[in-house]
Amino acid sequence: MDQSGGITPHEILPKVLEGYERCHQVKGLSVYAVAEKSTGKVIGAAGFNVSDSVERIELLYHFSKPFWGKGFATEAARACMEIARQNSDCKIIYASANPLNLASVKILELLGFQFIEMRWFEDTNQKEPYYEYKVRPYRIV
């Protein structure tokens, strides 16, 4: 996914980071900072929006513009998916992307996500391609 509500205001960033850390401690999945290996500089974020359950989680990745097109999002998304596979409760990973960001759509397809449908998203106020990746068999009870 490549959409967001914009940059997090600096004054609430500590609370957001605490929430991500707590989510990882409790559910084993969260959103993670992505740092460039050579410099240690944080260049983006990747991970999961987790609601009440980790059975269905949303993959996301966001990077600073100077780092687009260099493989960082693919590498980070692949690492996140491996973390999700290690969580025995995770069944489905879903994601969407801005339809104009063909590179982001390509990443989802490269990672094995299956296109489901075009879906309206209130937060971005547009229709976006919606994808799913089955980590394990999933039954609706």
- So what's the pLDDT on residue 138? 58
Q: Which H or E run includes 53?
A: none
- How many structural domains does the chain have? 1
Indicate whether 139 belongs to any domain. Answer: no
Q: Which residues pair with 44 in a beta bridge?
A: 34, 63
Measured distance CA(26)–CA(20) in Å, rounded: 10
- Residue 26 forms part of a structural domain: yes
pLDDT at 56 (0 to 100) = 92
In this structure, is residue 141 part of a structural domain? no
- Structure confidence by residue, pLDDT tens digits, 24-44: 788 888 899 899 999 999 999
The residue assigned the tokens 């401690």 is 25
CATH code of the domain covering residue 97? 3.40.630.30
pTM tops 0.85: no
Domain that holds residue 43: 10-134
140 close to 110: Cβ distance less than 8 angstroms: no
d(CA 4, CA 58): 13
The verdict on residue 48 lying in a domain is yes
* Cβ atoms of 2 and 96 closer than 8 Å: no
Whole-number average pLDDT of the chain: 86
In a domain, 1, yes or no: no
User: Is residue 2 assigned to a domain?
Assistant: no
The type of residue at 122 is E
The tokens of 77 are what? 């998304």
Residue-level pLDDT at 1: 43
Residue 77 in domain = yes
In a domain, 3, yes or no: no
